Structure 1
Amino acid sequence: MNMNELSSTDSESDYYKYWIDWFAGLEGNEYFCVVDEEYVTDRFNLTNLNTEVLHYQKALELITDNMSTKPMTNELREQVEKSAMHLYGLIHARYIMTARGLSKMYEKYKHGEFGLCPRYHCSQHPLIPVGLSDVAFKEKVKLYCPRCEDVYCPKSRRHSRLDGAYFGTGLPHMIFLNYPANRPAPSEQRYVPRIFGFKLHEVAVLHRWQDEQREEQKKRLGIASSSNSTQLSPA
């Protein structure tokens, strides 16, 4: 969507004045939170982004509502609009790793705004957006379930087109580092294939091995935790 798709009653000045709100309100952009204006206008937060975005300065002016009234060709205008959306996505990826940004994304997660896990044994647990790469144009956004610790494709096509780099690879894990008390317990329930009520032998062996590995991992983590506590205790 671009400015030409706005209603005829909306002037360009209104568009520039409310660009971030307009962008966040577009259908398909529900995964984004609104980046604070103070964050966008602090050039330190935008370090090196000028090398990744075409027409960087004009795109930034558009996002920050300081677009020049100097006429542009339709082709240039379209390029600047696309660059502004891309730049906002890259800024968003940095912003959501700050305390303020994490808080906003955590609230959206709590209210299930990113969707619910399709896995039956996760009991419709809320999902969190995650990228499989921090490099733009490599992977589309996926949704991470903190219960089964797996990722899923968004149900809606309008969400599946979002670039995963706009959310980054660390968002779900950073959320629970900041809100550890709200980390859900991993789901240990799973579907067991049966024929006439009997477990399939090979699957049963695999599940037993997985259970043993899980218990071993718990033991190793317990030993590591105890060792760290000992090292940190006063002499």
Structure 2
Amino acid sequence: MSSEGSNSDKEIEQTQQSWVEKFCLSPRNIFFCYIDSEYLKSNFNFTGLKKYSKNFRTVVKILRDEVSLDLEKMSKEQKVQIENETQLIYGLLHARYIVTDEGMRRMAKKYQKGIFGKCPQVFCQRQPCLPIGRSDTPHKGAVKLYCPKCRDVYLAKTKFRRIDGAYFGTTFAHMLLNVHPQLSPREAPRKYVPKIFGFEIHPSVSPYQEEEEEDEKEKKN
């Protein structure tokens, strides 16, 4: 088969892909999992999301693969707006879907492969992290990474910091580890002990000691 023929076949395959497939196959959206078509067909799952989209009916049809974006009949501004709204609604649906049994199963596979990233804490020994949001409301902050070993939150890689934290929410990471305790680290990380010439520094010798003493005085006053 000629290269020209193979290229045309690829173009056909791409045009046959649904919006959800194209979105999830993009490398920049690797944090997201596929939402089942059956889940998207349920109007109940879209409850409360209409306020986030001016073209809600169109967005729902796009997610359900009932209509595609017609570039010829739409202006560039209209296409950009609807595309942004579709991504927003999908992201908020995603936060709901990943706390279902099937959603957690799909995200657990990504977690075990370390797709979300590894903890930068040295003593965590590259422990895989989970995506987490600091708010369930969109536009409140980018996605962060939660390390189940040191139980701290870190910044994601720069290329993923454009992803809204609400697309994963404040519940998913902790729910996954509670429902699947086998995924939790068995040991807590060692703590770094500061030393001078081999001797441990006494806790009372702290750069924050004076500030803490001042705070205590203010509280008493």
How many angstroms does 1:71 deviate by?
2.3
Alignment correspondent of 2:185: 184
Structure 2, unmatched stretches of 5+, are 1-6, 207-221
Alignment correspondent of 1:81: 83
The worse-fitting range, judged by mean Cα deviation, of 67-76 and 102-111 is: 67-76
Distance, in Å, in 2 between the alignment partners of 1:127 and 1:79 is 33
Distance, in Å, in 1 between the alignment partners of 2:59 and 2:107 is 25
The letter for the 1-side match of 2:133 is: G
How many angstroms does 1:74 deviate by?
2.1
CA contact (8 A) 1:109 1:127 kept: yes
Does residue 1:48 correspond to 2:16, yes or no? no
How many angstroms does 1:98 deviate by?
0.5
Distance, in Å, in 2 between the alignment partners of 1:147 and 1:76 is 45
Q: Once superposed, what is the RMSD of the aligned Cα atoms?
A: 2.3
Q: Measured at CA, do residues 56 and 15 of structure 1 come closer, stay the same or move farther in structure 2, by a change above 3 Å?
A: farther
Shift >6 Å, 4+ stretches: none
1:139-177: CA deviations, max 9, x gaps? 10000000000011012x221110000000011111012
Indicate the SS of the match to 1:136: coil
The worse-fitting range, judged by mean Cα deviation, of 71-80 and 91-100 is: 71-80
TM-score relative to the length of structure 1: 0.77
Q: Report the number of matched residues.
A: 197
Alignment correspondent of 2:198: 197
The worse-fitting range, judged by mean Cα deviation, of 67-76 and 31-40 is: 67-76
How many angstroms does 1:203 deviate by?
6.2
TM-score relative to the length of structure 2: 0.82
Does residue 1:31 correspond to 2:31, yes or no? yes
CA contact (8 A) 2:52 2:85 kept: no
CA contact (8 A) 2:131 2:143 kept: yes
Q: Measured at CA, do residues 80 and 203 of structure 1 come closer, stay the same or move farther in structure 2, by a change above 3 Å?
A: farther
Q: Equivalences for 1:105-144 in 2 at 5 Å? A: 105-144=107-146
Percent identity of the aligned residues? 38
